[in-house]
Structure 1
Amino acid sequence: MVVRRLVMACGVAFAVGGMGLLGNPALAAGVSLTQAQQGWVHRIESSLAATKTFQARFEQVTEHDGTSTGTVLLERPGKMRFSYDPPSPLLLVANEGKVVFQDRSIGQITTIPLDHTPLGLLLRPDPRFSGDVSILGYEQQNSEIQLRVTRTENPGEGEMTLFFSTRPLSLKGWTVLDAQGHRTIVHFSSVQTGISVPSSSFVLPKDED
Structure 2
Amino acid sequence: MKRRDFLIGGAAALTASSLALPRARAQSLSGTLTDADRAELRRAEDYLNGIDTMYSRFRQTASNGNQAAGFLALDRPSRMRFEYDAPHPVVMIADGYELTYYDRELQEARQLPTFETPLWFLLRDRISFGDGLDVLWMKRSEDVMVVRVAQREGNDRGTVNLVFSEQPMQFRGWEIVDAAGVSVQVALENTRYGVELDSEMFDEKQLPGYRSLQRNSR
Scaled by the length of structure 2, the TM-score of the pair is: 0.82
Aligned to 1:130: 130
- SS of 1:163 mapped into structure 2: strand
Would the aligned equivalents of 2:6 and 2:62 in 1 still touch at CA under 8 Å? no
Give the drift of 1:196.
1.1
Query: Partners in 2 of 1:14 and 1:108 — Cα distance?
Result: 15
Aligned to 1:11: 12
Aligned to 2:109: 109
- SS of 1:36 mapped into structure 2: helix
Q: Which has the higher helix share?
A: 2
Q: Which has the higher strand share?
A: 1
Query: Partners in 2 of 1:112 and 1:179 — Cα distance?
Result: 21
Would the aligned equivalents of 1:107 and 1:208 in 2 still touch at CA under 8 Å? no
Query: Partners in 2 of 1:52 and 1:103 — Cα distance?
Result: 28
Would the aligned equivalents of 1:157 and 1:179 in 2 still touch at CA under 8 Å? no
Unaligned runs of 5+ in 1: none
Query: Partners in 1 of 2:14 and 2:201 — Cα distance?
Result: 21
Aligned residues: 206
Query: CA 1:144/1:132 → structure 2, altered by over 3 Å: closer, same or farther?
Result: same
Aligned to 1:145: 145
Q: What is the letter of the counterpart of residue 188 of structure 1?
A: L
Would the aligned equivalents of 2:16 and 2:118 in 1 still touch at CA under 8 Å? no
Q: Deviations over 1:177-205 (max 9, x none)?
A: 23443322100010111111111110113
Query: Partners in 2 of 1:138 and 1:55 — Cα distance?
Result: 26
Query: Partners in 2 of 1:126 and 1:4 — Cα distance?
Result: 32
2:34 is aligned with 1:34:
yes
Query: CA 1:200/1:14 → structure 2, altered by over 3 Å: closer, same or farther?
Result: closer
Range moving further from structure 2, 3-12 or 196-205: 3-12
Give the drift of 1:104.
1.5
Aligned to 2:201: 201
Aligned to 2:75: 75
CA RMSD in angstroms comes to: 2.8
Aligned to 2:177: 177
- SS of 1:12 mapped into structure 2: helix
Query: CA 1:96/1:151 → structure 2, altered by over 3 Å: closer, same or farther?
Result: closer
Scaled by the length of structure 1, the TM-score of the pair is: 0.86
- SS of 1:54 mapped into structure 2: strand
Query: Partners in 2 of 1:14 and 1:83 — Cα distance?
Result: 12
Query: CA 1:144/1:47 → structure 2, altered by over 3 Å: closer, same or farther?
Result: same
Give the drift of 1:107.
2.5
Would the aligned equivalents of 2:60 and 2:186 in 1 still touch at CA under 8 Å? yes
Query: Partners in 2 of 1:83 and 1:155 — Cα distance?
Result: 26
Aligned to 2:161: 161
- SS of 1:118 mapped into structure 2: coil
Q: Deviations over 1:132-172 (max 9, x none)?
A: 20001110112110001112222232210000012211110
Unaligned runs of 5+ in 2: 213-218
Query: CA 1:132/1:180 → structure 2, altered by over 3 Å: closer, same or farther?
Result: farther
Give the drift of 1:53.
0.5
Range moving further from structure 2, 28-37 or 158-167: 28-37
Q: Deviations over 1:56-99 (max 9, x none)?
A: 11001235681111111100011111121121111111114111
Would the aligned equivalents of 1:94 and 1:202 in 2 still touch at CA under 8 Å? yes
- SS of 1:148 mapped into structure 2: strand
